[in-house]
Amino acid sequence: MDQQTVVRSAAAAFLSLGLAATVGLGASGCLVAQDINYFGEVMPECDYREIDPPSYKEADLLRTTLRPECKELLEAILPFDETWAGAPAGLKDKLLEAFQFVAAFPLKLPREGRLFGVAPYAIPLGHYCIFDPIGYEDECLGGGGAGGEAASVHQLNRNLFNYLLARIDRITYDAVSTGKTASMGPSVDGWLLTIANPFWSPDTWANYISRPFIRASTLVHEARHADSRMHDICTDDADLPGRAACDPDLTGPYGLEMTYLHAVMGGAAPLVDAAGDPVLTDSDMEWIMGDMCGTLTFRFYTHYTDGRQLPPELNALFDENDCGDFDAEWAVAALGLERPSATGVSPGRPLSGSEEEAEAPEGAQDKYRRLLMW
């Protein structure tokens, strides 16, 4: 067993007992990215800037952004077990692509820690300690340095990718389950990430979960479970009453997932691909907004709390609006996002990512995704 495996397994053993392991904890108790630099083992081969032609959205559902050298490096560091020999064609590559997305797709954290453009400082400090511990050094690491500077795009990706990889000891394929896309839990081997067919499948339902930023957000969500943050039982106000599928506050898996999806929009909304097309189309942004709205509206009701446990500004927003009201135009204005100009000039660096839009029944994608991911 190598040193990385020993460190990760030891941390998992502590956390599975509900204890706060010192591995990955800053002076404030906030969880920060691990010291092992998995990101450096896959970059620059997995960077999107070198991809030509545009890639991640194609009519061919088996196509991914993976180049052979990136795929080889990801497979070398990800602990897949023998069950993957029986996985359907394309599933493993789509999972690898989701890991690549976490490592490479540009991120920018929301201004003032806002969610949906309201509720200043709603994003918990612990999530900033995962994305940008150096930028919040006093709070996350106990000071001792300059700190205070916002992390670069690649620093955010590096920190999040290292955080994710440090929490996975084995990845297994579940050929039976149809009720979940993925799950994370303790096992004799440490933390076990289980991937089921609904994570991605080349059938009609793939239209609802086919975009890599949704699959990537699932991985980020599951990683938070490895910090011993499990869901609580939902009340009757939730969309899955009686199931362990809700969080009492934003510090858990759903909150980290929402922070990540906000960062995806902030980082990619201004960018164009090699053809001059937006990296995130309006349809992409509406997928993200619908996914976040559905989660925030229905997954914060627990028996330990009274009502939906969100900041009052968010509760008011969701009480007064339906999820379909949060379109791309609304997101750009409310979140203060930049968008490419009509001439295709990007305020940021170019990326690949033009697409043929996947058709889906209006309003269905966020509900289906939420029912599978808990």
Asked if residue 258 has pLDDT above 90, the reply is yes
311-328 pLDDT tens trace = 999 999 999 999 999 999
Tokens representing 83?
């069950």
Looking at the chain, the number of H-run helices and the number of E-run strands are 14, 5
Asked if residue 354 has pLDDT above 50, the reply is no
Q: How far apart are CA 260 and CA 268, in angstroms?
A: 12
Q: What pLDDT does residue 3 have?
A: 46
157-212 pLDDT tens trace = 999 999 999 999 999 999 998 888 999 999 998 999 999 988 987 765 555 556 88
Q: What pLDDT does residue 34 have?
A: 52
The pTM score is 0.82
Bridge partners of 246, per DSSP, are 232
**Lookup result for tokens 């709390």:** 305
> Count of residues for the chain?
374
Share the mean pLDDT of the chain.
Answer: 79
Q: Give residue 68's domain range.
A: 3-372
Q: How far apart are CA 157 and CA 132, in angstroms?
A: 9
231-256 pLDDT tens trace = 999 999 999 999 999 999 999 999 99
| Count of Cβ atoms closer than 10 Å to residue 327 Cβ | 14
Cβ neighbourhood burial of 146 (10 Å; 0-12, 13-18, 19+): exposed
Confidence grade of residue 89 (pLDDT, cut at 50, 70, 90): confident
Choice between 1 and 17, residue whose per-residue pLDDT is larger? 1
**Cis check: omega of the bond before 186, within 30 degrees of 0:** no
Q: How far apart are CA 3 and CA 26, in angstroms?
A: 21
Asked if residue 7 has pLDDT above 70, the reply is no
**Total domain count for the chain?**
1
Q: How far apart are CA 318 and CA 311, in angstroms?
A: 11
Q: What pLDDT does residue 332 have?
A: 94
Confidence grade of residue 350 (pLDDT, cut at 50, 70, 90): very low
The DSSP code sequence of 121-143 is: T-S-HHHHHHH-TTTTHHHHH--
Bridge partners of 272, per DSSP, are 278
Q: What pLDDT does residue 226 have?
A: 96
**Average pLDDT value for residue range 88-93:** 90
Lowest mean pLDDT: which of 23-32, 276-285, 334-343? 23-32
Q: How far apart are CA 164 and CA 224, in angstroms?
A: 8
Q: How far apart are CA 211 and CA 190, in angstroms?
A: 29
| Count of Cβ atoms closer than 10 Å to residue 274 Cβ | 16
Cβ neighbourhood burial of 204 (10 Å; 0-12, 13-18, 19+): exposed
Which one, of 114, 113, 109, lies nearest residue 132 by Cα?
109
Quick one: what percent of the chain has pLDDT higher than 70? Answer: 72
| Count of Cβ atoms closer than 10 Å to residue 66 Cβ | 21
**Average pLDDT value for residue range 67-86:** 96
Q: What pLDDT does residue 327 have?
A: 93
Q: What pLDDT does residue 97 have?
A: 92
Asked if residue 337 has pLDDT above 50, the reply is yes
Which runs of consecutive H residues, i.e. helices, occur in 231-325?
Answer: 253-268, 282-298, 312-320
11-61 pLDDT tens trace = 444 333 333 333 344 433 455 545 689 999 999 999 876 444 344 454 456
**Average pLDDT value for residue range 350-372:** 36
Q: How far apart are CA 274 and CA 52, in angstroms?
A: 8
Cβ neighbourhood burial of 104 (10 Å; 0-12, 13-18, 19+): buried
138-164 pLDDT tens trace = 778 765 443 334 555 568 999 999 999
